[in-house]
Amino acid sequence: MNVSMPVVRARWCNITRITDLVTAALSPTDLGAWLVPDERHRRTVLAAAARGVIGVSGAAARCGVADG
């Protein structure tokens, strides 16, 4: 059975929710600890990194760079 799901692009108003999701998923893992060893700052640093990646990919998409 082949089921295609529609893809809905995230909008700028979704950045906070996406950042929270990425941070919550990565923070308690060994990878999160390896990336940011200081547990007190881990969530803040991971959130800032996720927000930066989202911002860069969003800017590229707006400029047409992300389109094949």
Task: Say if residue 22's pLDDT is above 60.
Answer: yes
What are the structure tokens assigned to 21, written together?
């999701």
> What is the distance in angstroms between the CA of the first residue and the CA of the last residue of the chain?
28
Q: pTM of the entire structure?
A: 0.66
- Residue ranges covered by each domain of the chain: 17-53
What pLDDT, in 10s, does the model give residues 26-62? 999 999 999 999 999 999 999 999 888 876 655 545 5
